[in-house]
Amino acid sequence: MRNSIANHLKIKLTVALFAGFCLGCPAHLWSGEPLRIVTSFYPVYVAALNVTAGVPGVVVSNLASPHIGCLHDYQLTAGDMRRLAEADVLLVNGAGMEPFLGKVAEQSPRVRVVAVSEGIPLLENNPHVWVSLAGARQQTANIASALAAADPDQADAFRANAATYQAALSDLEEKMRTALAPYAGTPIVTFHEAFPYFARDFGLDLAGVIGREHGAEPSARELADTVKLVRARQVKALFAEPQFPDQSARVVARETGVPVYSLDPVVTGPSDPVAARGAFLLAMEKNLEVLQEALR
């Protein structure tokens, strides 16, 4: 009799300890469910796919569909809110890219929100930090740390994947630095404010940015000023983006005779995870080719 009471107490104690332990850990660890990671937009999706490649029990999905681009004006849909309600971790760019984080905190308080640009010094509060291979490396490290905290059993796998991806980013950066060194100080004009980190990294002179955000049509005055600037600074090339109409770039090109090329900030790309994993490196390789063609 005494034995059975002791056993009963032991079971109760074990259950209490187990429950107490698990109350403090992410739900997926004791529910047997996968670690559900949602990324806010394409660049974060690509980095998260690299950090989680081949790691079992992890599901990565992207909130904004891959053709949306930057999230400056993005509004969460009912479908997004449903997805966030089931997510363990929401990886966002941060630095002001996602205007909807207040709503997430209010309506999906359970999801752990991680700003992957944490610790990256900003240029004039510009959120486009991933359009720099160094920025992309830091974001990758931040993602690995966040996922290691969310799923400690897989921490080594996340960190090893991050190191592999960071090495590939470093190799490409080295190649680009060497190839672009002859063009240091060359003035360029872009048509979205996505490239200050990129220009800084490669010593290009970002002489002007017109239509600072997607969808913002520059005024006639702004176009006229850009034409003046392109002539005065002897700008060699104008850079629009593949994702967006380039009418204003065409206007400036027609007025000045300076050609328009396309630089990709990698805010869109294939959604298939295998293709997406390599999409950032591929797009940056293409950017290098375009710059070499435009600036030679």
Cβ at position 213, least distance to Zn ion in Å: 6
The answer to the question of residue 64 lying near Zn ion (CB under 5 A) is: no
Q: Which is nearer to Zn ion, 72 or 236 (CB)?
A: 72
Q: Which is nearer to Zn ion, 73 or 174 (CB)?
A: 73
Which segment (67-75, 86-94, 116-124, 143-151) binds Zn ion by CB under 5 A?
67-75
Query: Residue from 70, 146, 169, 258 that binds Zn ion (CB under 5 A)?
Result: 70
Cβ at position 76, least distance to Zn ion in Å: 18
Q: Which is nearer to Zn ion, 187 or 211 (CB)?
A: 211
Q: Which is nearer to Zn ion, 71 or 91 (CB)?
A: 71
The answer to the question of residue 146 lying near Zn ion (CB under 5 A) is: no
Question: Nearest residue by C-beta to Zn ion?
Answer: 70
Cβ at position 69, least distance to Zn ion in Å: 7
Cβ at position 23, least distance to Zn ion in Å: 40
Our measurement of the distance from residue 196's CA atom to the centroid of its chain's CA atoms, rounded to an integer in Å, reads 15
Q: Which is nearer to Zn ion, 60 or 70 (CB)?
A: 70
The answer to the question of residue 235 lying near Zn ion (CB under 5 A) is: no
The answer to the question of residue 44 lying near Zn ion (CB under 5 A) is: no
Count of residues for the chain? 296
Judged by CB under 5 A, the number of residues near Zn ion is 1
Q: Cα–Cα distance between 108 and 77 in angstroms, integer?
A: 13
Residues of this chain that bind Zn ion (CB under 5 A): 70
